[in-house]
Amino acid sequence: MGYFAALKLAQAGLVVLVARNIQKLEKVKVDIEKLGGQAICVVCDFSDLESVNKASREIIDLDLTLLGLANNAGIMTNSDAKSAQGLDLTFATNHLGPFLFTELLLPHLEKNSNILFTCSTSENPESGAKTAGFRGSRFLSVEQSARGEYKANGSKVKGFDAYATSKQCNLATVLYFASQYKDFKINALEPGFNPGTALGKTSANLLTEFVMLHLMAPLSPLIKGWSTPKSAGNVIAKLVTTCEATGVYYNEKARSIQGSKEVQNIEFCKQIVLDTRQFISDLGF
């Protein structure tokens, strides 16, 4: 998704590419330049808050006119891996890193800029994601999520609770930020199920990866709620460059949808934002 979003965004102007793998970043930059666009590469591991700090400073020091921000970093893993700060890897990568990144860049974004977070209906226990084994967000607190602790009776699939919970925190952040930062257009996107992405490569075995990439991905346009990396990337680019609304949760067709009952309560969203901000501050960032 990120690759195709970058190609599309480059049609509108200079793109700052941010990811942890410099080789992949350079490849995207080359592809953009072949199409006549411009790009700058900034290395950042979103699971590592120090890396997020460094990357944000690097971007600010470029002294560019920043017109939009797309938070598309995301992983889903069935391991107990930890971040550089010893935090749950999924929660750190999906929520804490993008949260800090956004807060650091907000003062440097032009007024009326678009800010987009890639979210997921897996956070909603009443969504279609339950057919895949998700049970919605199992949120207890920011601190417990960062330790990899979640409500009981969650998914039987390891890693699903961490992913769904992190995505609920993303969505809560969007909805509360949109209510507070009126100079920006802040929205969320459920990009649809994309079997052609690398989201679950940290946990998928080779057979599963082959089936998803070569057998299921071609069927994506025919299945409701599914999408393709190219289609999702184009929607990301559209929302970051032309969206005039704020506080909206969009699906893969760029149509408004509702999140879980919890995130429909702005006080719940506010508490997640305040607690996240305090938790990150307590870590020294």
Range in 158-162, 202-206, 274-278 the model is least confident about:
202-206
Residue 210's pLDDT is: 43
Distant-in-sequence, close-in-space partners of 51: CB < 8 Å, separation ≥ 6: 20, 43, 44, 45, 84
The reply to whether 95 falls in a domain is yes
The residue with tokens 């057998």 is 215
CATH number of 278's domain: 3.40.50.720
Domain-located, residue 120: yes
Q: Is residue 43 part of a domain?
A: no
| DSSP state for residue 229 in the 8-state scheme | H
The answer as to whether 73 is a domain residue is yes
Q: Which residue range is the domain that position 92 belongs to?
A: 69-282
Give the pLDDT band of residue 229 (cuts 50, 70, 90): confident
Looking at residue 16, its pLDDT comes to: 99
Q: Kindly state whether residue 86 falls inside one of the protein's structural domains.
A: yes
Closest to 17 measured CA to CA, from 43, 51, 47: 43
pLDDT score of 149 more than 80: yes
pLDDT of residue 193: 73
Q: Does the pLDDT value for residue 216 go beyond 50?
A: no
In a domain, 24, yes or no: no
Beta bridge partners of 114: 68, 185
In a domain, 172, yes or no: yes
- Average pLDDT over the chain reads 91
Please tell me the predicted confidence (pLDDT) of residue 44.
99
How large is the average pLDDT for residues 123-152? 97
- pLDDT tens for residues 157-193? 999 999 999 999 999 999 999 999 999 999 999 998 7
CA distances from 120 to 74, 75, 163, 216, 252 (A): 10, 12, 9, 19, 10
Q: Is residue 220's pLDDT more than 60?
A: no
Query: Domain count of the chain?
Result: 1
> Looking at the domain assignment, is residue 118 inside a domain?
yes
Q: How far is CA 137 from CA 67, 164, 260, in A?
A: 32, 5, 9
Query: Where does the pLDDT of residue 199 fall: very low under 50, low under 70, confident under 90, or very high at 90 and above?
Result: low
- Please name the residue ranges forming H helices in the chain: 2-9, 22-34, 49-61, 89-91, 97-105, 142-146, 160-180, 206-210, 229-242, 266-282
Residue 167 in contact with residue 119, Cβ under 8 Å? yes
Helix (H, G, I), strand (E, B) or coil at 41: strand
